[in-house]
Structure 1
Amino acid sequence: MALGLIKTILYVVFFMYAFKFLAKLFAPFLIKKVVNKMQEKAEAQFRNQQPKSTVKEGETIIDKAPAKDAKGSKTVGEYVDFEEID
């Protein structure tokens, strides 16, 4: 009974250390691969987002003129008089 328990504990400890060792060994390669995949996806999205503009460089286009009846607010806000506390 006790021998089986000790054997099980040793197996668990062995597999824990083996897993840690293998994780330290292979984790950098796996992380590098994942980062490269993410970078490729980001580059692909960036390439697809760039619009192909027919406007020449330096040319200005105005889509909509500003409204003539737009009035600015002349009151900025309420004035608050603060008192100094000694």
Structure 2
Amino acid sequence: EVGRTMILCRPRIESTSTHGTLCTLNTAIAARLASGSDCTSRFMTLRFTTRYTAHLGIETADSTIRHGQEPLNRFHSMQQLLVPR
């Protein structure tokens, strides 16, 4: 809506795996806003989107690269993990 500002706050994660977070988050927000949902559901979706795209991507990123800013893990929800028996 014109003239309204929304501020999204999330806890800071200490990590160097932040390369790509802003473009990933902006893309997710733009896609959700373009879906045509009402303001309340947009807000809830944006809260979920910040958690899903940014925080999980940072938390699950590969920290073995060690050359400057490491990339965000954009595929965190598609990974298969081996669980020991």
Please, what TM-score do these two structures have when normalized by structure 1? 0.28
Structure ID, larger Rg: 1
Answer 1 or 2: which has greater helix percent: 1
